[in-house]
Amino acid sequence: MTPGIRPLIAGNWKMNASAREAVDLAQAVRAGATGLAAELLVCPPFPYVAGVCGLMAGSGVAVGGQDCHTAVKGAHTGDVAAAMLKDLGAAYVILGHSERRADHGETDALVRAKAAAAIAAGLVPIVCVGETLAQREAGQAEAVVAAQLSGSLPEGFEAAGGVVAYEPVWAIGTGKVPTEADIAALHAAMRAQLGAKTRLLYGGSMKPSNAQAILALANVDGGLIGGAALVAADFLAIAKAAG
Ligand code: 13P
């Protein structure tokens, strides 16, 4: 944790859940989201964003998208504008997730442009960074993340409340987690690069059994949760571990 920063526990549902399951999951998260110190956020697939925004209204649970386009509107078949998410009541958008960098060839420059578009539309961007296993084993993790941060964060990121999520690619969906010392070192390096106000999340195989130890580390201001966010009880247990 960082003194003065409210923790953020964010669920990235990725491309999961039927329409019915999305409603059930959102309702269960809402029902358990009282009296928490942490801010809660759920990021459903685009087709469910409107419905989940409606279900979360008045609950204090924030809703986000998993991507947005750089343009305000126009001829971009299949894409979603930041203003559309904002219009539905979303407050956040995840950008530059390693799955999008891998599946769609997203570069730091593109992520930066998307983050600028999100800020312009009034959304808070959550920009994801993280090294591959080969980069970690070559001792390049901190250098890779530093370069991703300098390339992916636009002007005004901190002032807009921008969030950074450190997600080592090799820890996502694998059950593998870096050592607490490695997470702490990486987050300290990000803190030194970014300044005191930016919320720094950890993501990658977070679950109820490891959340408390990870969230207690200096400069870890919350988590970006994948698999465990699809089970309301697990997501809420992680949220409780944030204090
Ligand atoms: P898992 O929690 O399933 O490892 O996913 C992490 C992630 O990619 C969140 O964005």
Is the pLDDT at 173 greater than 90? The verdict is yes
Distance of CA 237 to the CA centre of its chain: 18
Considering only CA atoms, which residue is closest to atom 5 of ligand 1?
A: 226
Question: What φ, ψ does residue 222 adopt, rounded to 5°?
Answer: 145, -170
Considering only CA atoms, which residue is closest to atom 2 of ligand 1?
A: 226
Q: For residue 172, give the ligand 1 atom closest to its CA.
A: 4
Is the pLDDT at 233 greater than 90? The verdict is yes
On whether both 85 and 42 belong to a single domain, the answer is no
Taking residues 32-52, report their average pLDDT. 97
Digit-coded pLDDT (tens) for 136-166: 999 999 999 999 999 999 999 999 999 999 9
Closest of 86, 77, 44, 40 to residue 241, by C-alpha: 40
Asked if the structure places residue 21 within a domain, the reply is yes
Asked if the structure places residue 211 within a domain, the reply is no
CA of 204 from ligand 1 middle (Å) equals 5
On whether both 33 and 76 belong to a single domain, the answer is no
Closest of 53, 83, 66 to residue 11, by C-alpha: 66
Catalytic residue ranges: 97, 167
Q: For residue 94, give the ligand 1 atom closest to its CA.
A: 10
For residue 49, the model assigns a pLDDT of 98
Number of domains making up the chain: 2
Asked if the structure places residue 186 within a domain, the reply is no
- Domain range enclosing 95: 66-169
- Kindly report whether the global pTM for this prediction surpasses the value 0.85: yes
Which residue among 14, 16, 92 is best mutated to probe the pocket of ligand 1, counting the most ligand atoms within 8 A of its Cβ?
Answer: 14
What pLDDT band is residue 243 in, cutting at 50, 70 and 90? confident
Where are any strands of DSSP class E within the chain? 8-12, 39-43, 62-65, 92-95, 124-129, 163-166, 199-203, 222-225
Digit-coded pLDDT (tens) for 50-66: 999 999 999 999 999 99
Select from 149, 169, 189 the last residue of a domain: 169
For residue 195, the model assigns a pLDDT of 87
Asked if the structure places residue 194 within a domain, the reply is no
Chain mean pLDDT for the chain: 97
Question: How far from each other are the two terminal CA atoms of the chain, in whole angstroms?
Answer: 10
On whether both 146 and 99 belong to a single domain, the answer is yes
Q: What residues does ligand 1 touch, defined as CB less than 6 Å away?
A: 12, 97, 167, 172-173, 203-206, 224-228
CATH code (residue 101): 3.20.20.70
Taking residues 93-103, report their average pLDDT. 98
Select from 123, 138, 169 the last residue of a domain: 169
Where are any strands of DSSP class E within 35-176? 39-43, 62-65, 92-95, 124-129, 163-166
Asked if the structure places residue 222 within a domain, the reply is no
Taking residues 172-191, report their average pLDDT. 97
On whether both 138 and 125 belong to a single domain, the answer is yes
